[in-house]
Amino acid sequence: MTIHLDFHQSAEHTAPLLLGGVLRFGQVAVRLTEVEAYVGRNDPASHAYNGPTPRCETMFGPPQRLYVYASYGIHRAGNLVCHPEGEAGGILLRAGEVIAGKELARQRRGESHAEENLARGPGNFGQAMGFDLPLDGSRVIQVDDALGVTDPEEGVLYLQPPAERAEFFAGPRIGISKNVAAPLRFWIPGDRTVSSPRGRPRG
């Protein structure tokens, strides 16, 4: 029996609880190994920092939805909307291990990529999963067994929370220029699918 995640909590609280869980969209399922919290108007690095815009409106909407945005105009990064009532926030899906739909994920990413690289990095994760901008705002449904969903609904993501809290490290976020030092990146230590650096934070 898996635990139930409360996406009405802050992104900082919920993000590490996702680690080891499984996110499925269509045929592809990924075991989450690295995530990053963005805490809305209290976080200069968050898209929601300056209030709602057409781009980030989903972050101000109901929790437990998918927020998709274009990164550098090329990649499609996915976030799980997570925030207390009246606030905004999200959890960036940074990396994971593809455990189902590997052939499809490899077609999307390219045949030359090593298995551990298929969903490493937010843009690669989104590409492997098949995220695109029309999916912004899609529902995320918690289930006990994401791989056991025999008739997945189109445009819906299925999230299987971990059975127990995973061991994790927390450290500075990467790939951003503001509020970098905030220890809001969470990852499973030593996992080969995690972005570098993947060891214990220095300090």
Mean pLDDT score of the chain: 90
Confirm whether 189 is domain-assigned. Answer: no
Per DSSP, the three-state class of 195 is coil
The span from the CA of 109 to the CA of 120, in Å, is 11
Q: pLDDT higher for 158 or 39? A: 158
Residue pLDDT, tens place only, 161-203: 999 999 999 998 887 778 777 889 999 999 999 987 655 654 4
Pairing of the two strands 140-142 and 157-160:
parallel
What is the structure's pLDDT at 196? 76
Split into its structural domains, the chain has a count of 1
**AA letter at 144:** D
Q: What is the CATH number of the domain that holds 116?
A: 3.10.300.10
* 95 confidence band (pLDDT: 50, 70, 90): very high
Confirm whether 184 is domain-assigned. Answer: no
Confirm whether 24 is domain-assigned. Answer: yes
Q: pLDDT higher for 111 or 129? A: 129
Residue pLDDT, tens place only, 15-56: 999 999 999 999 999 999 999 998 877 887 787 778 888 888
The span from the CA of 122 to the CA of 174, in Å, is 11
The pTM of the whole model exceeds 0.75:
yes
> Is pLDDT of 139 > 70?
yes
Domain span holding position 26 = 11-161
- Give me the helices (H) in the chain, please: 11-14, 102-109, 122-129
Confirm whether 31 is domain-assigned. Answer: yes
